Structure 1
């Protein structure tokens, strides 16, 4: 089969592209502080669009930035009115839109959605007891000293499951930051754990606690199941997915931690990107690229090469808000007044090192 020379068609395709489509004019010349149009939301949102935020440690920066900007942020499980303000973060209040603590994996998000849609599932969650103090295995550090008894522990979990459900129903945009491909599950029930049992709490049983380095198909299936469950509660729900740029603290994969980190971020980035490509109700926001791509030369990481420096967080959030289209007419939300009352003028860059990250405890296991 012969083909005819169609002239300069190929060149025309590229000459019609904007300057951001070329490495020289999109990256090399503007530099990392001069990127344009890294993110352009596909949503037209009302000016007072409400956001719920969840995910890995880096997601906490988005929570703070939304609050600091005065954008309505869903706090479905606020601290009691008489709770000391200086202890709120320690007890995981106002960090995410409910007290789930960090949700590191897609499998864990899927499980939390199941808790929100099937309340009786909370009665099957594994509880751990040590020295008379009780913890639930989904968020073992939600109460620094644990709960007084199993009944209180489970009742608080049920309350958070209800709050998580409300944060889905009462929001316009659900922001989720994917953090890890690695996780542990109960071999009998399939319940995921926040961390490997025996690190923060509980005890490790090699036959019961199984390590999983979730693959692309598994993560995609978990994300689709979670999204389907959330949209059953809120059909108009929009999602913004992003990938944490923070490297793994440690890996159980037997690979070098650098290789394991590259695998994890690559797979999560592919899943998030593909979901956004195939679903008009999902955006992908490139926080990972802004912080961890080669042109940054690691300048946004602190000396430990993991924690993101305050000015890196600030740059990420500048791109986030620049790309949102919040030009639509304001909506009337019954909970707006309560949400606004809780808005504190918080600068994410000033509190960048104060993240609640269970994963950091793994460094204590480093014997070298």
Structure 2
């Protein structure tokens, strides 16, 4: 019998590793933002959730495919609520006081995504739920109900064949657009209790089967077990925030470390060690900023930043540090 009281999920390092210079695109549920933000902190060229949080995979594939059109084209439905214009296909962060302004926001997001995907090496997609909502009037699946009365929507459980069909349609366009790109799929460990525990379990099961099928069908598709890392590896409520839905910062860091070890190169992991120390140094608040010891400390950090400048753009950090140095 094991005395560790825990079953650690071991993930084999990938053959094709990501580097500090690898362009990466993340999209989907809020967990895509967590992983993408981690990459941003380490200077990876990454575009994070350009459509805002999108929970269901079919809506996500629709937006991705729309981004690849020539030119990118939005054909979704716009609505007005409390003098604010919103789009059913986008997160509520896409809002404007007028229809033309909202369309401009949407067009910019689609164009930005297209331009980034042109040279991206990897796409990380995170699926949040297989439960969607059909707008009764248009009979279309929406990405966000935007607090419109529920009577205008029908709850709908997305089927495995429908999700795979939507992915296949998007993937064919993507292959023509950027044939060398690869996709990493994840299922968000965030619990959707609005759909009840039973509904959440059913939803996540569908998403997990979809990831399994897509990985088997497409050579360029892989699966990262973010869901299993929280549910089966950490497996404790202390790794959830007080809402009992979202992972804590400790849990997010643990999953990130697993992702980094599996997908990023050893050079990148060596860089993150150096960068973590520099970030800690920036967070340090001295009692005596003008003291000789602190000024020497700043000069040491400045030297490290200037050495790293050959690898990444540290100019912002260098400029900030120089303002703290006292010159005689």
Which TM-score applies when normalising by structure 1? Answer: 0.66
Give the distance between the partners of 1:227 and 1:268, measured in 2 at CA.
17
SS of the residue corresponding to residue 229 of structure 1 reads: helix
1:134 and 2:73 are equivalent in the alignment: no
Consecutive unaligned residues in structure 1, runs of 5 or more: 1-23, 75-95, 252-256, 329-336, 345-368
Task: Please give the residue correspondences for 1:1-368 in structure 2 after superposition, counting only pairs within 5 Å.
Answer: 28=2, 32=6, 35=8, 37-46=10-19, 48-74=21-47, 96-98=48-50, 100-118=51-69, 122=73, 124-143=75-94, 146-186=95-135, 191-196=140-145, 199=147, 202-203=148-149, 206=152, 209-251=153-195, 257-293=196-232, 296-326=235-265, 340=313
Report Cα offsets for 1:41-82 as digits up to 9, x if no partner. 2524455222111110111110111112232223xxxxxxxx
Deviation at 1:29, TM superposition (A): 5.4
Q: Secondary structure at the match of 1:177?
A: strand
CA contact (8 A) 1:109 1:226 kept: no
Q: How far apart, in 1, do the equivalents of 2:140 and 2:28 lie?
A: 18
Cα distance in 2, alignment partners of residues 44 and 240 from structure 1 = 12
Q: Distance in 1 between matches of 2:259 and 2:316?
A: 19
69 and 134 in structure 1: CA distance in 2 versus 1, 3 angstrom threshold: same
Partners of 1:108 and 1:271 in 2: CA distance: 15
The Cα shift of 1:325 comes to 4.7
Cα 1:29–1:66 change in 2 (3 A) is farther
Q: Which runs of 5+ in 2 are unaligned?
A: 268-309, 318-328
| CA deviation map 1:17-56 (0-9, x unaligned) | xxxxxxx7xxx55555x83632432524455222111110
**Given that residues 51 and 173 in structure 1 are in contact (C-alpha distance below 8 angstroms), is that contact kept between their aligned partners in structure 2?**
yes
Q: CA deviation at 1:105?
A: 1.2
Label 1:188 to 1:43 Cα distance change in 2 as closer, same or farther (>3 A): farther
In 2 relative to 1, CA 47–303 (structure 1 residues): closer, same or farther, beyond 3 Å?
closer
Q: Tell me which residue corresponds to 1:349.
A: none
Change (3 A) 1:42 1:239: farther
Deviations 1:197-253 (A, max 9, x none): 5x1xx45554xx4432101111222222222222221110111111001111312xx
Higher helix share: 2
TM-score of the aligned structures, taking structure 2 as reference length: 0.74
Greater Cα offset, 240-249 or 163-172: 163-172
Give the number of equivalent residue pairs. Answer: 275
Find the residue that maps to 1:58 and give its secondary structure. helix
Q: CA RMSD in A?
A: 3.0
Q: Is the 8 A contact 1:66 1:73 kept in 2?
A: yes
